[in-house]
Chain A
Amino acid sequence: MRHDDTTTTEHPVLGSPARRLLTHSAVRNGLAAATVTAVGLLAVYTVDDFTVGSVAMLTAYACVAMGLTVLIGGNGQISLGHAALMAVGAYTMALFLEPRTTALREVPVLSVALALVLAVLVTLCVGLLIGLAAARLRGPYLAGATLSFGVAVPGLVTYFDHWFNGEQGLPVPPPDMPTALDNALWLPDRFVALIGVVAVGVTFFVLANVKRSAVGRHWAAVRDDEIAAQLCGLSIPREQVTAFAVSAATAGLGGAVLALFLQGVNPHSFDLRLSLGVLAAVVIGGLGSLRGAIWGSALVVFLQKVLADMDVDENLPSASYGLLLIVVMLAAPGGIQGLLSRLGDRLPRRSTHHQGDN
């Protein structure tokens, strides 16, 4: 992004004002987020009743994966316990919605929206706490500590069973659909997928802008060289804690969407498998890339779905994304988005101002 306000004549590369507007990063990110949302909405409207559940699942994965990719790829901190943060969001959702259930065992859409916001805020606070500890840890220590956090949370949930109802977990009532959608015979899943797509769009827009803002660049500076960043006056712990908190917040959002889709939450739906699944999505998509996180989530979710439909061994999806994780990390650390960008770079570009990818 380069503003060239000193030249009075038209800039030779940026060209007309319209082109200029297009290269402004907030507008560009807005357009990208709108595209993501539009594609998502198209999917929600067109897919059949069997696939729409996977779309809802995908939106939940994508929210978490985008936050995780910003944390790992953007700030250099790893987390193997994001499922626990998702659980925080999901339980917040369940506890908030329970008293707001109508006679039909549904909740008003407004309450759902409030619950999503609340889930984000609560998880943000938890993320701040964990981030404070995480900022003092590096590499393998951080990986192990977050792993330990991830497996600890289900135990806490069962211990405080008068709040969380132990192993059975809590129900999450379905949202009360607008009459128009009710008349169109929409299943609750489809409506949840719609909510999920909006959540993904918002997350994408916010994170894309954060990445290109001063904050995002601070995070990247800390990732690349802590000492150099410190010399530039950055507080390393502060950058790491904020990155962790933001990443946690999106995990809370994803967890809340997942709870809405599953219509309930219990400790087992947020186990190590989920943390590792999201990590796989992030790595396969390409570390640090928001679009990559969405590609990766789609791959992981639909791999599970397609292989489950083909009635092959139930372990095959995990086996294949485990293998993909290794191959990608060793052979193509840029992941899917890295490959796409490399393809894109081969094409002639109209603008020499390469803006980097989100």
Chain B
Amino acid sequence: MERFILFTVNGLTLGAIYASMALALVIIWRSTRVLNFAQGAQAAASAYIAWSVTDVTGSFWLGLAAALVGGAVLGVLVQQTVFRRAESMPPLNSAVVGVGLLILIEAALGMLFAVDETRTIGSAFSTKSYQAGSLPLVSPQDLFVVGAVTLTVVTLGLLLARTAVGLRMRAAAFAPQTARLMGVQVPLMLSLGWALAGVAGGLAAMLYTPTATELVPTVLDGLLVLGFTAAIVGGLDSLVGAVTGGLACGLALSYTSGYSQPDLLLPVAFLLLIGVLLARPQGLFSSSRTRKV
């Protein structure tokens, strides 16, 4: 029972982090139909920004803010310099461009931040669990993770669904020509999508890095793959799907690595991904029609 609670809490917390990464991918996919393979590296860059700010100021919260802002700026930068030209190309090209950017950003981080120093990002709150009797339940950090991701999701959801800006963003994504005729500044809206995705990615990085032993440029490669799995499970197209997919992946993987072995984490993620794609190629929550092979 104690183990079950532990794995469940752990799964939900990790799931929230995967959901955050999945959100970043989904937002970009919705706005520009690009699957951004560079998101992991961009998020790692946000984490490095946070580390630098925390290193100078000594404040975790300033670091977090810097990571979110940095993530947004980087997202816009990446879109403006590289992806804007790749958007009109076949999906293969934009995937390759994303991979190129992933390699480039990670290498650049490696060059800027030499390996002679061990960098870590601490957790915002204590990771020691509250006890109910002798049963350990959740830790403050777990609550913080889930709370931060929930806040982000709800804010994003409200922004997209209820505000004028959100309406313009959706219009720019789904009917760019019509939107332009109606006076929507389509490029601006697309950039805004990349900025929001950068924020979600930066948040994912700040929540995930404390669970890793050290901050290295490749620290988020695994998270990218898991976030991608979560996004696909949820259908790549829907925010709710990304969150549900994230939590489902988090729980499934937490039980696997808890009851079996941590080595199986990524293989199980792969099986989950393939299973969902083969059974429901459009994902669990997507409204788009499947293509017949």
Hey, which bits of chain A sit against chain B, CB under 8 A? 72, 76, 78, 80, 133, 135-141, 143-145, 147-149, 151-156, 158-159, 236-237, 272, 276, 279-280, 283, 313-319, 321-326, 329-330, 333
Contacts and interface: CB of A to CB of B under 8 A. Distances in A.
Nearest to B98: A143
Interface stretch (B88-96, B126-134, B180-188): B88-96
Interface residues of B, number: 50
Interface stretch (B49-57, B144-152, B201-209, B272-280): B272-280
Given A148-B228, A330-B82, A276 B293 contact: no
B238 to A, nearest CB: 16
A78 B95 contact: yes
B93 A159 contact: no
Closest 8 CB pairs of A and B: A325-B100, A322-B104, A322-B103, A140-B35, A319-B107, A139-B91, A315-B110, A152-B270
B291 interface: yes
Interface of B: 29, 34-35, 37, 82, 85-86, 89-93, 95-97, 99-108, 110-111, 218, 221-222, 225, 228-229, 232, 236, 261, 263-267, 269-270, 273-274, 277-278, 281, 291, 293
Contacts of B95: 78, 80, 139-140, 143
Contacts of A72: 92
Given A141-B281, A151-B225, A156-B267, A322 B107 contact: yes
Contacts of B97: 325-326, 329-330
A148 B99 contact: no
A130 B277 CA distance: 13
Contacts of A325: 96-97, 99-100, 103-104
B278 A315 contact: no
A316 B107 contact: yes
B279 to A, nearest CB: 10
Contacts of B225: 144, 147-148, 151
A313 B107 CA distance: 10
A76 B93 CA distance: 11
Given A140-B236, A143-B95, A147-B228, 17 more contacts: A80-B95, A138-B291, A139-B35, A140-B35, A148-B269, A151-B225, A153-B267, A155-B264, A159-B263, A280-B103, A283-B100, A315-B107, A318-B106, A325-B99, A326-B97, A329-B86, A329-B97
